[in-house]
Amino acid sequence: MIDLLTNFLKSKGFKDVLVVFTGRSVSAVFGFLPSVIVARELGPKGFGVFSLSVVVMMLIAELSGGSINQAVVKFSSSYFQKDKEKAKLTFKIGFKIEIMIGLILLILGFFLREPLSHLVFKETKLEKLITLVFIGSVGIIFMRYVLAVFQSLQTFAKHVLVEIINNFVKLVIIGFLYVIHILNILNAVAVYVAVPYLSCLFGLIFIPKSFFYAEPTQKTIVYEVLHFSKWIMLSSVIIAIYSRLDILLLNQFRGSQVVGVYSAAHILASSLELFAIALLTVVFPKVSRFSERGEYVSFYKRYLIVLVPLGFLICVFFWFTAKPLILTFYTYEFIDSISILKLLAIGSVFFLIALPLCSIILSLNKPQILLCIDLLILIVMLVGNLLLIPLYGAIGSGIAVLISKLLFMILIIVTINKEVEKIPVQM
């Protein structure tokens, strides 16, 4: 066990994880501070409307372009050692598909702004926010495409640099609007809409332009990307829904005031998931190159040896520091966020353990298994929130999230054990 841990700490993979985690931690600080400024300035109700806008923006982006970016990482990573031109072509095709998706979203946003304003915010006078939300979702799609390219190339320093700049610029502009006393819901959301476009343009500077001029036959690549993406797209749709279902249902049952209180705890708990995303960012392109059972087993053992004890320590930390964290970053108006944070933090630890392991299932080219798991989690989240929110409000939603993430971790571990056993042993 000690040898496994020592070898892991010395490996290039660990160094890459350290780069991504450190960069994302810095980015998280820059991303967290503007949300604190907005929460303090607007109060729970205004912050609830702002949070809903950002949640819907992220939801649309994930529903529309998330699967394409994952397919780009999967296939370009597997091609890169064998056929670099094919890998470049994957980047080019992915970019073309994202452009088409972006155009469709902008058209939909124009025609659906009034009914969606009533559905999301329960009033039509906020249709300007819905228009901004659709425009912002397109910017997020393009920025994440740039991040997917850097992830495939395993140039993780550039990957995190784009993320840091994205959140730092948000902080600077939100801080400036606060200082000159013109910060409101509309211009706060506008900042979150505009900045991803700037981050995308910055990231494109570092992407080799040859990727966009690859010319081999495209038919095979398009088929592979879309075939893989159809499963990931369905899975992404389900994940995007259930990962925001708590906030959306809280708004329907309890209103934006409770959403604001819940969102304060949610933002802090989500900081734990940065490490999970950092691990997945580094692990996915590496695991996509595995071909033997021994490689998967070795990675799986090292991973659990490190992550399970770490997860326990994180749970203990948040259990004892939830109150000072909430009262330090937010006002006493958010005092009810403390107990919510304790629940959400434990759920985030389960997610931290499970999410990077999904790269094994994707590497085995079985995204349909993840789709089934995600569908079950969606059902648990939906039923849990519908039953518990009317009874316990935001606490009920926190309990539903905790249960769903525990189930997600269990299902991922059981599935991996089963699927890895099916891989033939190389003689």
Percent of all residues in the chain with a pLDDT value above 90, rounded to a whole number = 14
Q: What is the CA radius of gyration of the chain?
A: 21
Q: pTM for the whole thing?
A: 0.64
For 164, other C-beta atoms within 10 Å of its C-beta total: 20
In a domain, residue 427? The reply is no
| Residue among 17, 18, 33, 23 nearest 268 (CA) | 33
Q: pLDDT by residue (tens digit) across 311-349?
A: 888 888 888 888 888 888 887 788 888 889 989 989 888
- Give the model's pLDDT for residue 14: 58
Lowest-confidence range among 72-81, 143-152, 165-174, 202-211? 72-81
In a domain, residue 91? The reply is yes
In a domain, residue 166? The reply is yes
In a domain, residue 426? The reply is no
Residue 384: domain span: 2-421
In a domain, residue 181? The reply is yes
Report the distance separating Cα 89 and Cα 167, nearest Å: 30
Report the distance separating Cα 204 and Cα 158, nearest Å: 11
Please list, in sequence order, all residues whose beta carbon lies within 8 angstroms of the beta carbon of residue 123, skipping any fewer than 6 positions away.
Answer: 117
In a domain, residue 225? The reply is yes
Q: pLDDT by residue (tens digit) across 188-242?
A: 999 999 999 999 899 888 877 666 665 555 555 555 555 555 556 666 677 767 7
Q: How confident is the model at residue 151 (pLDDT cuts 50, 70, 90)?
A: confident
In a domain, residue 360? The reply is yes
| Residue among 250, 196, 203, 215 nearest 65 (CA) | 196
When divided into structural domains, the chain yields a total of: 1
In a domain, residue 173? The reply is yes
